[in-house]
Structure 1
Amino acid sequence: MKDAKLRDIDHRAFLRRLGPILAVYAAAMRPPPEQLPGRHTIMERHATYPAFRAVVAERRGGSLLSRAGGTLQGFGYGFRGETGQWWHDVVRDALTRTGGGAHAARWLDDVFEVAELHVHPDHQRHGIGRRLLNTLCEGRPERTVVLSTLDPGHEDTPARRLYRSVGMVDLLTGFVFPGGGPPYAVMGATLPLAPYERDGAPASQPAGGPA
């Protein structure tokens, strides 16, 4: 298997590539097919949010536009969280209820929100998810990073282990978003994330890293 090459794409390139990006999302998350058009619309809207950043992992020498497909191994994207964004407002309300206004402000007043980060099942367990997350967060000017991940019965999932390994802590667990659906954990860290070597062993943490 060839190593994945990571690269940034702007919001225009992201929109052009929504087909293969959504295919990776579907393979990783296995949502009901009828939900995919709605997810497509949500991703289109996210690309208009402030300070949007997207990173893709693709097979070296491949093209995201290949008819054969399979060259896109994973992707992640996020943006600056602000009042008026649905996820941001819902999580702020929940954090305020559980920890007070200062607690919510500490995490969400200056925040990079990772909206999606997925690796195709055929390419998981090769460190691509960690590389995507670290690349997404590298150089961000915000003070914190926050995201949500599935929390089925508070299980120690691979995704949660990844996020904890870069310094993220639980802010909410077993949280069900308005409208129903499965429970999620909301996790956050102070930026910059703790650096890691490619084999996953932690490197020395710089001053000002996650507490």
Structure 2
Amino acid sequence: MRDPKLREIDEHAFLRRLDPMLDVYASAMEPPNEQLPGRHTIMERHASYPGFRAFVAEGRPALPILTGSVQGFAYGFHGARGQWWHDVVFQALSDREGPEHAESWLDDAFEVAELHVRPDFQGRGLGRGLLSALCGGRGERTVVLSTLDSRPDTPARSLYRSVGMIDLLTDFEFPGGGPRYAVMGGALPLAAYAPASSRP
């Protein structure tokens, strides 16, 4: 398999790739198997959200008779009230710093819903490439996402900090239980280094 190439896909191509993308998600996140059908449904619903955008890193086969495969993917959309993640995070930020603080991050935000690379393809710059492509040229003022908060120096959190994102919430438990997350945000366009200010 040759090195994967990044390509933007529309919602229809995204839906056709749900199963291989879910395989990447499972290999990167190692969730309980019983959670995967629910994740499939969530990703399918996200494709209908406003401002949806997706990229895949697909391997090109060395021989024409072979087929390529998804080695990484990322997608997001314009965050809005009425979306579960948006409303939960808005309330948490409001409780901590007040509604104006929450609005400063979420009233015009691009939400990165998922960004995953298959473990054996990590460390090659695919995650950074996917993030840069996904956020490039977006019209929103901020970008926000959540990532596992197992420790502050995970490769994912280091990547997000390197493009100017900061922690908005840490050790955060979404409704329904599960692992703890860090919610991160940054200004668009992405910066080379995290800004000193904690506001967008």
Normalization by structure 1: what TM-score?
A: 0.87
Q: How does 1:132-171 map to 2 (within 5 A)?
A: 132-152=130-150, 154-171=151-168
Shift of 1:61: 4.8
Q: Counterpart of 1:179?
A: 176
Q: Counterpart of 1:198?
A: none
Shift of 1:3: 2.8
Kept in 1: contact 2:78–2:111 (CA 8 A)? yes
Q: Which amino acid in structure 2 is aligned with residue 88 of structure 1?
A: H
- Counterpart Cα distance in 2 of 1:158 and 1:165: 10
- Counterpart Cα distance in 1 of 2:152 and 2:74: 23
Task: Note the residue ranges of structure 2 that are not aligned, 5 or more in a row.
Answer: none
- Counterpart Cα distance in 2 of 1:141 and 1:69: 35
Shift of 1:72: 1.2
- Counterpart Cα distance in 2 of 1:187 and 1:140: 18
- Confirm or deny that 1:71 pairs with 2:66: no
Q: Which amino acid in structure 2 is aligned with residue 93 of structure 1?
A: Q
Q: How does 1:1-211 map to 2 (within 5 A)?
A: 2-61=2-61, 71-152=69-150, 154-195=151-192
CA-based RMSD: 2.1
Kept in 2: contact 1:20–1:69 (CA 8 A)? no
- Counterpart Cα distance in 1 of 2:4 and 2:20: 16
Normalization by structure 2: what TM-score?
A: 0.92
Spell out, residue by residue over 1:154-211, the C-alpha distance to the aligned partner (whole angstroms, 9 max, x if none).
431111000000000000000000111111000000000025xxxxxx7xx9xxxx97
Q: Which amino acid in structure 2 is aligned with residue 99 of structure 1?
A: E
- Counterpart Cα distance in 2 of 1:165 and 1:191: 14
Task: Note the residue ranges of structure 1 that are not aligned, 5 or more in a row.
Answer: 196-201
Kept in 2: contact 1:173–1:184 (CA 8 A)? yes
